[in-house]
Amino acid sequence: MPHLYRFHRAHGDIDVRVSTTGRLTNFLGDGIDVAIRYGGGNYPGMTSEFLTSEEVFPVCSPRLLDGARALRKPEDLRHHTLIRDSFPIDWATWLASAGVEGVDPHGGLTFDSYTFAVESAVQGEGVVLGRTMLVAADLAAGRLVRPFGHALKSVSSFYLVYPPEAIRQRKVKAFRDWLFAEMTPLRD
C-alpha cells in the first residue's frame, strides 16, 4: 500500500479500487480484476503467483528499549503489555518457539484489526507480533523496532491471484508487472 501511488503516477489512466476483506474474491460478481491473497497459493481455476513469504516477530516502539524495564531479551516481555490480534501465529506460539517461560501469552490488549494492534505498538502501549510485509514501512521509518532477532516463518505466503484470461487485459498486465517490480527487493 505505501507504494501504490507509484502505480497511479505511472498509469494514471487505470483506476485503482482497493478492497480489504478476508473473504475470497468473486472476480466476476465483485468486478475485481486481481487480488492479493494470504494463504497457501492453491486457488482452483485461478492463476496464483507467489509474491513473498512472511516472518512473524515482536515489534515495539523504540521507547520500550530504554528505561528500567527496557526490552533486551525475550524474557523481558513479562514486564510489557502483549498486544494480540486474530492471526494464527499468536504469542503462545512465538514464546514457545523462542523458549521463553514465565510470560502470560493471553494477557494484554486484543484487537480484531491488525492495523489498530500495530498502531497501539507504535504509540508505545506494548509489543505486537509484526508480520514482515505489514510492518515494513513502520520499521523503515523508525516508528517500530525489532527488539529481538528470533522470528517464526509463517506457513502462509502472499500471492497475486486472478482469472487466467485476465492477464490479456492491459490494466491487469500493467499492475502485475508493476507489483513484481516493486516486490523484487523483498522477494525470497
Choice between 129 and 31, residue whose per-residue pLDDT is larger: 129
Per CATH, which fold does 4-53+155-183 belong to? D-Maltodextrin-Binding Protein; domain 2 (3.40.190)
Do the domains at 4-53+155-183 and 54-153 have one common CATH topology?
Answer: yes
Confidence class for position 187, pLDDT limits 50, 70, 90: low
What angle separates helix 114-122 from helix 132-141, to the nearest 10 degrees? Answer: 30
Q: What is the pLDDT at residue 185?
A: 64
Q: Express each pLDDT in 61-112 by its tens digit.
A: 999 999 999 999 999 999 999 999 988 789 999 999 999 999 999 989 999 8
Query: What mean pLDDT comes out for the span 18-31?
Result: 77
Q: What is the pLDDT at residue 29?
A: 81
Cell of 6: 507509484
pLDDT at 186 over 90: no
Domains of the chain, by residue range, sit at 4-53+155-183, 54-153
Q: What is the pLDDT at residue 1?
A: 62
CA atoms within 13 A on the CB side of 129: 25
Alpha helices in the chain (DSSP H): 4-10, 27-30, 91-98, 114-122, 132-141, 170-183
pLDDT at 22 over 80: no
Strands 109-110 and 82-84 turn out to be parallel
pTM, two decimals, is 0.78
Confidence class for position 12, pLDDT limits 50, 70, 90: confident
Task: Give residues with Cβ within 8 angstroms of 158, minimum separation 6.
Answer: 36, 37, 38, 50, 51, 52, 53, 54, 133
Confidence class for position 41, pLDDT limits 50, 70, 90: very high
Enter the CATH code of domain 54-153. Answer: 3.40.190.10
Query: What mean pLDDT comes out for the span 48-65?
Result: 95
Choice between 34 and 31, residue whose per-residue pLDDT is larger: 34
Cell of 142: 523508525
> Burial, 159: exposed, middle or buried (Cβ in 10 Å; 0-12, 13-18, 19+)?
buried
Query: What mean pLDDT comes out for the span 112-136?
Result: 93
Strands 127-131 and 47-59 turn out to be antiparallel
Cell of 103: 510470560
Q: What is the pLDDT at residue 20?
A: 72
Q: Express each pLDDT in 132-179 by its tens digit.
A: 888 988 999 999 999 999 999 988 888 999 999 999 999 999 999 999
